[in-house]
Structure 1
Amino acid sequence: MADGSAVKEHLKADNFKGTHFNKREIVENLSSKLVQQARANPREFDPKPFLRTFEVALDELKRVRKNFQRKIDDLEDEEASTERTRRKKMAEIYTSFESVSQAYEMLEAQIGEVGNTAIRIGEQLETIDRQRTRALEAKELIEFYMEFNTGRSAKLEQLSSSGPEGELKSAIVLRRLNAIAKDVDIPGTDMARMHIERFCEDMEKKMLDVFDRAYKSGDKATMKHCARTLYDFNGGGSSVQLYVNQHDFFMSRLRLGDSLLPPESYFNLLAKSPSPPPADPQLEWQVISTVFPNAASVMQNFVQRIFAQSIQNYVENSVGAAEEKSDLAFLRCLASCHSTISALVTDLNKFDATTIALKSTSGLVLTNILERSFGDLFVPYTEGTRYIERECRCLVACFDDVLEAFKNFTTSRKSPTRKQHKQSLATPVLGAQSVAQLLNISGLGSSDKTDDSEMAEASTPSTDTTLKLLAIHLEGIQRCKELSTPSDMPRHMRILFDHLVEQVGKRYLEMAIDLFMEDSFPHDSKMSNEPDLRSLGLVFVANQVLQLFQLHFQNSILPVVMNSPAVHRDLVVVKNEYMASVESRLNSLLQKQIDVIERWIDILLGRQKKTDFRPKDELSAASVVQATQPCQIVCDFLRKVYFQASKCLNRDNSDLFLGEIGIELHQMLLEHIRKFTISSSGGMALAKDLALYQETIATFGVSALSERFNLLRELANAYIAKPEALRSVIYEGVLGRIDPVLLVPYISLRADWGKRIEKDLFVRTR
């Protein structure tokens, strides 16, 4: 039998509470004794003890569950009863709250009615008090007025001399009496009007004298009292005027004094003007805000007077003096004035926002005054198109100054004497002796050689001159940025850039290239001397000028017009068209130079003697180890061309330039060979010539020319080879890649071509 008490012990309600409940542990506890007994008596397993034990446990569990369920039901009933009680109490509380709320609303309404009544009573009392005060003041004014009408003012004098408060009150009384005297026209009151006006004048004069003495002694308290009294008396305008007139302006750095200074003094003084001391506005505001009751208005008047008198005189005197000097001095002075005063306005605006506005109820005090005053200063100089027209005139004048030598050169070319002289010097192939003779014939003599060299230098563009021109234009841009409004800036930049392209681009660089081509490559010139290669130097300088022009455009012009797409697009188009025009001229110049080089090479090749390739003495000719003289001269000239081209042209342009010369030289040599009958020893000379040509062309570094001149060198072997080896030369090696029909015109130049055996051999090769 299962031990019921043990089962109940293991299945107590407390064992099922908390987090320590474990089903396996309860089962092990219920069956632990049975397991021990089964182990102590080993025999066949008997489940009945276990069944009886677990049956008792199940019965006990059912009983425990019923107890739990009964407790749960009791708790739920209790909770429901409690909830009903709570809801009932909440309803009672809500009803009580509604009653209290209604009571408070009624009380508030009653209090509001009482308050409104009190307000009405207070307003009535205030009205009565004001009426009483006005009546007393009117009575007092009538008494003062009647006293003045009798010619006496003892009562008001007594009030005025009773102290600061008495002075303030007497000022108010006088202001009112003065208004009455002006508005009231009653017979018999002339005496009162006269005495009131006299008393007002005396009082104002007295207050101003006291204010003046206090200002000179630095007594701010007395100044404040006088300013307050005068403000109550007549608005305080006289005290403000006295303060401004006697004050040493904090912008005295801009005052140039009398207009008796010479123009240079104004111009130099402007350049040396220091920045305004940042502490001065602060000190002035401290004095004004302490002394004057209407400090903001006084500060406005103070600044306005400074702009209207001191700064305006400064600008007019400075700009007027600079204008007498030159347009450039005028524009520099105007831009410097604008920049200096603009910086001052910026400082004052910052001071207004950080200091004055904090104590003013109307916000920013000086901003509008400063903007209007600053704008009015420069309207006479920048309104409409006044500024940009003068800027353009100045740019043209400055450009003309820099390009004076170049313009003199172009002008001298048009004069009859110079034109005749230039016709004599136009051909670039004259020798030194011929040039001297022409100079003497022209009546110029050796004394004019220096002038001609200077003129030649003036006619050639230079980077130094270009940098000067761009510096002038950059200065104009800086002035334009300073003096132009944001809305006018893109349009003004377009105008300035158009002047740069026209004056510097077309009338300087393009004209210089055109004149150089006209003078260096005349159509009817006959070459007798080696041509110079100055055109390559001109191309080098022109490319540098274009690079400077491009850098100037990117760094100085584009950033200014970035916010104006239309102007930006137009400027880019104008710049590209100009650069394309210059590049086209440079290409034409290089092509003319190539043509001259080819003509000179053709002249040199024309000096080749027939005996060079068919000497009379075959044995002595075979021992010569050097190339022929024409070949050496041509190669020396080609080396000069290569040196100049590699120095003046970039790699790509140099390859194109030298490549075209090399291709034409190859063609000229093919034609040159066909002019001669070539013997065996002459073939040796030709081979040396062609080898030297190949070596010279190899220095060009143009890969496309290597194969062409290698073919020429192999062609020389066709003149050296013996008749029996000629067939292998033609059909093998480099020449084997060429149709023999094309080689026959060259091979037939052999001196032994007339022999029958060789002739039959060549016929078979066809």
Structure 2
Amino acid sequence: MTYFAEFLADGPVELFNKDSTDEELFEAADVIQKLHVIAQELSNAPRFVEAKKKISNKYDEIERTLIEKFIQAHRMEDVNLMREIATILSNFKSYSECVNAYIEESQMSTFVGKDIFRDALPLTEKNFALIQEVFIAPEQVMSKFVLNVYKCKLQNYIETTLAASKTDTEKYLTNLNDLYTKTVQLSKELGKFKLGSEDSYLSKLTHTVFQQYLDSYISKEKQWMTDKCGRILQKFYDSKAHQKKQVSSGGLQEIRREMQALVGTRANINIAQIEDYGGETFLSEEVSIAILEEAKTAFSRCQVLSRPSELANNASQIVEVLLDYLINNFVNYALEIGLQAVPIPETKSQPQEIHFFKVTRQTNMIVYLIEKNFADFALPLLTASTKHGEFLLKKKMSLQALEQKLENGIDRSLNAIIGWVKMILQNEQKKSDYKPESDLELGLNPNLSSQACLKVVKYMSHNIAHINECLDGGNRECVMTELGIRFHRVVYEHLQTFQYNSTGAMCLICDINEYRKCVRELKSNLVNTLFDTLHSLCNLLLVKPENLDQVRNGEHLAVLDSSILLNFIQLRSDYKSQKIASFLRGITA
């Protein structure tokens, strides 16, 4: 009460001065803190107003002095003095300023290097021990210490780093991913200090620091993917000196092609030149890998930077960009160009190269790479969400569209090959090949095989080798078999337009043997059987009339309809003169 009386009296009150010892300061602090409590209870009567004002001023003065002393003690690493002052200040209203001063002093000379994350953990570990010794509520101080690291130091560092790369989207996304990853790792490492009242304290701090960047992340990622894919494709087309053009399939395009083939065949003219681009496929595994590598990076960032509730949706947006550029803008475009480039057989020109099988090979490889990328990087982000089913459906539809174009292109290519075969046979095969007037004509061709046959075999072998090189597995087996079936049909129909004498039949047998040798390269049992049967049919043109019945009951011919056999036998030049019908039991009407 003596001290209180001094404050009631007129004139200044001096509880301590600049020459006071620490003990005197602490005693004055104890006195003023108690007087401050008493003053709160006093009324605002005139006699107390001045006293309350002087107590408040002295309270503030001592409080400031204690905080200054605390800072000095901290700089001098006097832990005991720090602890004593902190304990005294814990009863003062500005105790938080003491904590703030400690945090500011502790972090003042740190985080000045390029790697703020390298300094954060050692600094926190060092101060954790000191805070435990100095403050009476160390958990609260420690939480505030880390809060300042995140909200001030770390956030400022992140803002500065990202602002510097704002004009470079790729660098911005790389920095954002790196900063977020390091912050999450830092939070895990700081988790051992049991900060905050909740286990999610550090996660919430991380979210707060990055919220504005995570909100806009996917739009930047999608824009970057779009720009990057576009640049990769444009660079590729530039390297080919190719300007992309509008392409269309089906409908009018098919009608136009059919008209071109029809008029070109019948009128021996060409409506429009088919551009084959010098065999360029406009596909590249390297380009596809480059785009898929960018997608891999995007999916990786997506997994890191997407909130759990947004992960599947964000990943699906990356998938859409990938499907659009790699399948629709790249592969689909190449298939359309490839379809248009398949040549139409013409009577005036030599057989042209068929490049679509190379397109097929590259497409299959690119689709394999896409499927693997999706399985490894996209699907894990979409599993257990509605986006998973949507993704599978979109992918299925996109790949089915490619598959349909591949089937159309292969069918068109096989038609072109067979069309050229038909042209060669029509233009090169002479009636005298199979019905020479004398053995002298046969002597001009000691190999017996006709020139038309040899040209066809050379052309077919070239294409079979090309298909073998471009296709594999079940695809190759199916295409080879189909090619063989169509080839057989053309040869079969072609042979029925001639008549054969015995010498010509020998030449025909030689031709058929060349065809059989050729189709062995197809590795198709069905095709081999077809040509073996054709060989047996051709024997009907060679054997003596009295042996026809025996030949037609052979292994390959016994299963054939009798009308087929009769049609072939009637091709013999001696059919009527030798009264061959009389040698055929049960085959003629």
Q: Shorter-chain TM-score: what band?
A: 0.7 to 0.9
* Match in the other structure for 2:398: 578
Cα distance in 2, alignment partners of residues 638 and 248 from structure 1: 81
* Match in the other structure for 2:90: 231
Cα distance in 2, alignment partners of residues 535 and 750 from structure 1: 41
1:371 CA displacement: 3.5
1:721 CA displacement: 2.2
Cα distance in 2, alignment partners of residues 198 and 649 from structure 1: 94
1:396 CA displacement: 0.9
* Match in the other structure for 1:742: 564
* Match in the other structure for 2:472: 650
Q: What's the CA shift string for 1:570-591, capped at 9, x where partnerless?
A: 2222222222221111111111
Which secondary structure state, in structure 2, belongs to the residue aligned with residue 735 of structure 1? coil
TM-score, normalised by the number of residues in structure 1:
0.67
1:495 and 2:317 matched:
yes
1:596 CA displacement: 0.7
Q: Select between 313-322 and 397-406 the one with higher mean Cα deviation.
A: 397-406
Cα distance in 2, alignment partners of residues 693 and 172 from structure 1: 116
Contact 1:251 1:276 in 2 (8 A): yes
1:601 CA displacement: 0.9
The structure that is helix-richer by fraction is 1
Cα distance in 1, alignment partners of residues 27 and 452 from structure 2: 120
* Match in the other structure for 2:233: 403
Alignment counterpart, residue 465 of structure 1, candidates 264, 287, 292: 287
* Match in the other structure for 2:5: 143
Alignment counterpart, residue 597 of structure 1, candidates 407, 412, 417: 417
Q: What's the CA shift string for 1:514-538, capped at 9, x where partnerless?
A: 221123357x977722232321121
1:293 and 2:136 matched:
yes
Cα distance in 1, alignment partners of residues 486 and 246 from structure 2: 37
Unaligned runs of 5+ in 2: 248-255, 261-271
Contact 1:174 1:233 in 2 (8 A): no
* Match in the other structure for 1:536: 357
Alignment counterpart, residue 615 of structure 1, candidates 411, 426, 436: 436
1:251 CA displacement: 7.1
Cα distance in 2, alignment partners of residues 723 and 189 from structure 1: 148
Q: What's the CA shift string for 1:668-693, capped at 9, x where partnerless?
A: 11211122222222111111110111
Q: What's the CA shift string for 1:2-56, capped at 9, x where partnerless?
A: xxxxxxxxxxxxxxxxxxxxxxxxxxxxxxxxxxxxxxxxxxxxxxxxxxxxxxx
Q: Select between 219-228 and 196-205 the one with higher mean Cα deviation.
A: 196-205
Unaligned runs of 5+ in 1: 1-138, 257-268, 357-363, 416-422, 428-437, 443-448
Alignment counterpart, residue 377 of structure 1, candidates 209, 213, 216: 209
Q: 1:315 to 1:521 in 2, by over 3 A?
A: farther
Contact 1:460 1:512 in 2 (8 A): yes
Contact 1:338 1:483 in 2 (8 A): yes
* Match in the other structure for 1:203: 62
Work out the percentage of aligned pairs sharing the same amino acid. 20
1:551 CA displacement: 1.8
TM-score, normalised by the number of residues in structure 2:
0.85
Instruction: Answer 1 or 2: higher relative contact order, Cα 8 Å, separation at least 6.
Output: 2
Aligned partner of 2:423: which letter?
I
Q: 1:275 to 1:591 in 2, by over 3 A?
A: farther
* Match in the other structure for 2:269: none
1:283 CA displacement: 1.4
Aligned partner of 2:106: which letter?
H
* Match in the other structure for 1:695: 517
Q: What's the CA shift string for 1:296-336, capped at 9, x where partnerless?
A: 222222222222221111111111111122x2222222222
Cα distance in 2, alignment partners of residues 251 and 410 from structure 1: 56
Cα distance in 1, alignment partners of residues 405 and 374 from structure 2: 21
Q: What's the CA shift string for 1:211-241, capped at 9, x where partnerless?
A: 2332222221122122222323334233222
Q: 1:721 to 1:215 in 2, by over 3 A?
A: same
Q: 1:757 to 1:242 in 2, by over 3 A?
A: closer
* Match in the other structure for 1:4: none
Cα distance in 2, alignment partners of residues 463 and 352 from structure 1: 51
Which secondary structure state, in structure 2, belongs to the residue aligned with residue 652 of structure 1? helix
1:559 and 2:389 matched:
no
Cα distance in 2, alignment partners of residues 505 and 412 from structure 1: 15
Alignment counterpart, residue 240 of structure 1, candidates 84, 96, 99: 99
RMSD: 3.4
Matches within 5 A, 1:45-444: 139-140=1-2, 142-146=4-8, 149-153=10-14, 156-157=15-16, 164=23, 167-178=25-36, 184-187=43-46, 192-193=51-52, 195-248=54-107, 252=111, 275=118, 278-325=121-168, 327-348=169-190, 350-353=191-194, 364-365=196-197, 367=199, 369-383=201-215, 386-405=216-235, 411-413=243-245
Q: 1:649 to 1:275 in 2, by over 3 A?
A: farther
1:204 CA displacement: 3.4
1:513 and 2:335 matched:
yes
1:657 CA displacement: 0.9
Q: 1:169 to 1:184 in 2, by over 3 A?
A: farther
Cα distance in 1, alignment partners of residues 466 and 101 from structure 2: 80
Cα distance in 2, alignment partners of residues 388 and 764 from structure 1: 81
Contact 2:292 2:373 in 1 (8 A): yes
Q: 1:609 to 1:219 in 2, by over 3 A?
A: same
Q: 1:539 to 1:377 in 2, by over 3 A?
A: same
1:374 CA displacement: 1.9
Q: 1:321 to 1:526 in 2, by over 3 A?
A: farther
Cα distance in 1, alignment partners of residues 75 and 35 from structure 2: 32
Aligned partner of 2:403: which letter?
E
Cα distance in 2, alignment partners of residues 238 and 414 from structure 1: 71
Contact 1:171 1:232 in 2 (8 A): no
Aligned partner of 1:672: which letter?
H
Cα distance in 2, alignment partners of residues 322 and 151 from structure 1: 60
Q: Which has the larger Rg?
A: 1
Aligned partner of 2:317: which letter?
I
Q: Select between 701-710 and 670-679 the one with higher mean Cα deviation.
A: 670-679
1:278 CA displacement: 4.5
1:513 CA displacement: 0.8
Contact 1:335 1:479 in 2 (8 A): yes
Matches within 5 A, 1:447-466: 457=280, 460-466=282-288
Q: 1:663 to 1:414 in 2, by over 3 A?
A: closer
Contact 1:276 1:344 in 2 (8 A): no
1:739 CA displacement: 4.4
Contact 1:175 1:234 in 2 (8 A): no
Cα distance in 1, alignment partners of residues 578 and 7 from structure 2: 155
Which secondary structure state, in structure 2, belongs to the residue aligned with residue 715 of structure 1? helix
Contact 1:676 1:749 in 2 (8 A): yes
Contact 2:117 2:183 in 1 (8 A): no
Q: 1:525 to 1:713 in 2, by over 3 A?
A: closer
Cα distance in 2, alignment partners of residues 369 and 505 from structure 1: 45
- The number of residue pairs the alignment matches comes to 561
Contact 2:480 2:522 in 1 (8 A): yes
Q: 1:756 to 1:687 in 2, by over 3 A?
A: closer
Q: 1:240 to 1:401 in 2, by over 3 A?
A: same
Contact 2:442 2:448 in 1 (8 A): no
Aligned partner of 2:159: which letter?
E
* Match in the other structure for 1:548: 369
Q: What's the CA shift string for 1:147-167, capped at 9, x where partnerless?
A: 6x44233xx339x95764x64
Contact 1:381 1:387 in 2 (8 A): yes
